[in-house]
Amino acid sequence: MDPPPPSPFAAPLDFCPECGSVLPHIGPTPKAPPCLHCGFTPRRDGLEGRTLRTVLELNPLQALMGRGAAAAPQVAGPLVERRCSRCGFGAMQYRVGQTRGADEGQTVFYHCPQCRFQEKEDS
């Protein structure tokens, strides 16, 4: 049986040497996870001594809820006559955005200037 042809990719161990895809992160298991695209399993001995570090930064919950020292900034926008479903205030600020396909309508985001409640409407 002939040996397989050499790989067309010469890549560091972060990428699959067979297809060039990004390899999944290596966890504490004794076996390295296979490539999600082609199934190639890297040899673990080439990974010894490497340090992988992942950082996940989250926003403080108080800032997202509009409380605390780092409160979220006030949303600015034009006012329309729309009653807030939470506090009953008679006007809401709005902004529009295209969150779905180009052949579908825009999404309108409403923000209450009094209680900071947010809701959206797909049009």
Angle (nearest 5°) at CA 21 between 15 and 23: 50
- Ordered by where they begin, the domains of the chain are 1-57 (no CATH), 73-122 (2.20.25.10)
Structure tokens at 14: 């972060």
**What is the DSSP secondary structure assignment for residue 15, as one 8-state letter?**
B
DSSP string, 58-120: ---HHHHTT-STTPPPPP---EEE---TTT--SEEEEEEE--S-TTS--EEEEE-TTT--EEE
Q: What is the pLDDT of residues 37-71, one digit of tens each?
A: 888 877 666 556 666 566 677 766 665 555 555 44
pTM (2 decimals)? Answer: 0.40
Q: What is the pLDDT of residues 65-114, one digit of tens each?
A: 555 554 445 657 788 999 999 999 999 999 988 888 888 889 999 999 98
Contact (CB, 8 A) for 16 and 37: yes
Structure tokens at 2: 């002939």
Q: Quote the CA–CA distance of 89 and 80 in Å, as a whole number.
A: 11
